[in-house]
Copies of this chain bind each other. A is one copy, B any other.
């Protein structure tokens, strides 16, 4: 069992007064960024519970609102509810609480990515197209992600290998709000749709590339779409901020697997606080 699966495991605890399923979990401090757990890691725990009650295996659309930071090395409670179980889509919500306070709230749609959604075959089939991966140096010619430049401890880097494009690794170096690089689970476990959702939130903020040190960029909401089950190996990520106004940013991320297939896209609204 991978550290990711082990440290995002949930145990059933029956139902609450509203008929919702309850689950217990533990938030491991080894996924911290600074003093708090990585947001994508909390999402992975809340989704592990929802996945257990979904009739479809793959989270294809996941929206998370980050209400309050989580706490590492503390227990957590997850509550799940199926909103609709359809033939091709299961929709549900999940919330993760610690010490009686909700930390994240999720609404998600699950499908079966091994089956098409009705695109058909032959001359009337719906075509496929999508963005190609950027050309970046291979992982061994990239630079290990470091938090030291921003004065942030990154315990999560014992759990994740994160290699940043050598032209984008220092604050302000890129000159544009773009960060790209490679990511994988440090213990060699293969990526899956749930770990992709965590990867999308584990790169440095792309504004780091243009503004330099930006401090903490709290995410208000992040929506991720998983497009394919990833092939084994590294995941290539590219993050870009194309829209920043009044301290509110929209950052887009795309992830490709080692075969060059687009496996996930995500977008977040975050706050950029004055330095």
Residues of chain A having any CB pair with chain B under 8 Å: 18, 60-61, 63, 65, 67-68, 83-84, 88-89, 91, 93, 102, 105, 107, 109, 111, 113, 116-120, 124-131, 211, 220-221, 223, 225, 227-228, 242-248, 250, 262, 265, 267, 269, 271-275
Contacts and interface: CB of A to CB of B under 8 A. Distances in A.
A228 B243 CA distance: 12
26 contacts: A61-B221, A63-B63, A63-B107, A65-B83, A65-B91, A65-B107, A67-B91, A83-B105, A89-B220, A91-B105, A109-B220, A118-B247, A119-B274, A126-B272, A126-B273, A126-B275, A127-B211, A130-B242, A130-B243, A223-B223, A223-B267, A225-B250, A225-B269, A227-B243, A227-B248, A227-B250
A265 to B, nearest CB: 6
A84 B126 CA distance: 42
- Count of this chain's copies in the oligomeric assembly: 2
A105 B84 CA distance: 10
A228 B245 contact: yes
A150 to B, nearest CB: 16
A111 to B, nearest CB: 8
